[in-house]
Amino acid sequence: MHAVTLLLWGEGERRSCCSPDAVQRARESAQALGVSFQTLDRRAEFSLEVVEPFVADYLAGKTPNPCVACNPGRLAALVDLADELGYERIATGHYARLVWRDGAPFVARGRDRGKDQSYMLARVAPETLARLDFPLGDLTKTEVRARASVAGLAVSEEPESQEVCFATNGYRSFFCRRGVQPATGAVVDSHGKRLGTHDGQWWFTVGQRRGLGLAAPTPLYVLARRAAANEVVVGGRDKLATTDVEVRDLIDRGLGEAPGLEVQLRYKAAPVALSELQHLVARRLRLQLATPFEAAAPGQAAVFYRQDVVVGSGFIAESVGVRV
C-alpha cells in the first residue's frame, strides 16, 4: 500500500483541501497508518488546466465550477503514477460509488447524499474510472470521522474543506490578488432601465440577492451578467426560474430518452426531471425541465442521472432560458 496526495495550490488557509497544510496532514495520517507516502506536485498543471480557465470564464460572464474541471486531470495523473509504481487500483476519498454496466464503469451517487460528490466526478474518463475505488461511497461523513478517530488520525476532527481550494477567502479577494481592477458598469432591470452602478460584473453570481447596493420595494436578484457591456441584470425572484436550458460540450454515456432522466444544474442542488430532451449540433442539448429551476448559471455543470448513475454531463450554455 502506498499513500499519495496532490499538491495543487501553493497557498491557502488550513481549510483548503489542496494546500501545503493539507499535504502535511495527509503525510501525518500516512505515518500514523504505517504506510509509505509521497506528494505529487501538480501546481503548474492545475494553474494551466483549472485556475486560468476559471478566471477567463468568470471574467467572461460565466460561473464555472473548478472542481469539475480539476478531477479528470488529477485522477488521470494518479493512474499514471500507479502504473509507474506497479499498482492496479487507486482508492480515493470521494463520497461516490463505482458501478459497472455492460462492462463499463460509471459514477453513482454516494450513500451520504449531503456529501455526495458524483457531480464533481461526472467528466472523469471511463478509462480512469475503471482504475478507481471509492471506499467512502457507502459510508456517511459521521461514520468516516468515527473510524478515523478510532484509528487515531488527527484529521478526524478537521473542519470541512472549502469547495474552491484557491479562493478560500472569496472570489473578490482572489481576483484582486490576480490584479483584476474595478470597472464601473450599470445595474439594469430586465428592460434595460439603469437602477445603479457596480464595480465589475465578475463580483456577482446569478441568483445573488445581497450586496447589490439597491433600494427596492421587493427583493432583487441577479438574473444575468453581461460581460461585453459590463452589465448586471437584476429582477424579482419570479424571473430567476426557467424550464428551458441549453447545454454545451456534452459527454453522452447513454442518456437515452427524457423519461426517467434527471439533471443536476448546480452542486448541492436537487436534481430536476426532464420532460423533453432535444439533441442539437456540436454536442449541444436543449432541455425542457419538468419543474422550474432557479438561478441556472451559464458555465455551471449540468450532470445527468438515471437511477442515481451519471450517464452524461455538459455545461449550461449562455442561452439559458431565464426571462431577462
pLDDT digits (tens, 9 = 90+) for 209-268: 998 989 888 999 999 999 999 999 999 999 999 999 999 999 999 999 999 999 999 999
Handedness of CA 238, 239, 241, 244 (dihedral sign): positive
pLDDT at 289: 96
217 DSSP assignment: S
Question: Where in the sequence numbering do the catalytic residues fall?
Answer: 70, 165
Q: What is the pLDDT of residue 213?
A: 86
Query: Where does CATH 2.40.30.10 sit in the chain?
Result: 241-316
How far is it, in rounded angstroms, from Cα 169 to Cα 220?
A: 25
Could you please state the CATH topology (level 3) that the domain comprising 182-238 is classified under.
SH3 type barrels. (2.30.30)
H or E segment at 268? none
Whole-number pLDDT of residue 21:
78
Who wins on pLDDT, 18 or 273? 273
| Residue 209 φ/ψ, nearest 5 degrees | -115, -45
* CATH code 3.40.50.620 region(s) in the chain: 2-157
Percent of the chain with pLDDT over 70: 94
User: What is the distance of C-alpha 290 from the center of its chain?
Assistant: 23
Q: Which of 122, 53, 76 lies closest to 266, judged by CA?
A: 122
State the average pLDDT over residues 119-142.
Answer: 97
Which whole number is the average pLDDT over 4-21?
A: 72
Cell of 187: 445595474
Please say if the pLDDT value at position 162 is more than 80: no
Residue 11's pLDDT is: 65
Mean pLDDT of 9-29: 72
Domain with CATH 2.30.30.280 in the chain: 182-238
Is the separation of the CB atoms in 290 and 303 below 8 Å? no
Predicted local confidence at residue 234, as pLDDT: 95
d(CA 221, CA 219): 7
Residue-wise pLDDT tens digits, 29-58: 888 889 999 999 999 999 999 999 999 999
pTM score of the predicted model:
0.92
Mean pLDDT of 132-157: 90
CB 279 within 8 A of CB 298: no
Burial letters 227-261, b for 16+ CB under 10 A, else e: beebbbbbbeeebbbbbbbbbbebbebebeebeeb
Encode pLDDT of 65-90 as tens digits: 999 999 999 999 999 999 999 999 99
Fold of the domain built from segment(s) 2-157: Rossmann fold (3.40.50)
Mean pLDDT of 270-285: 96
Alpha carbon distance, N-terminus to C-terminus of the chain: 55
Confidence of residue 25 (pLDDT cuts 50, 70, 90): confident
Mean per-residue pLDDT over the chain, rounded: 91
Instruction: Report d(CA 226, CA 202) in Å as an integer.
Output: 10
Nearest alpha carbon to residue 61 among 298, 307, 323: 298
CB 256 within 8 A of CB 296: no
| 23 band by pLDDT with thresholds 50, 70 and 90 | confident
Q: Which three cell numbers stand for residue 229?
A: 457591456
Kindly state the percentage of the chain with pLDDT values over 90. Answer: 75
- pLDDT at residue 324 above 50? no
pLDDT at site 98: 98
DSSP H helices, the chain, are: 20-33, 43-46, 52-59, 66-85, 126-129, 141-150, 171-177
Looking at the domain 241-316, which fold is it? Elongation Factor Tu (Ef-tu); domain 3 (2.40.30)
Residue 321, pLDDT above cutoff 60: no
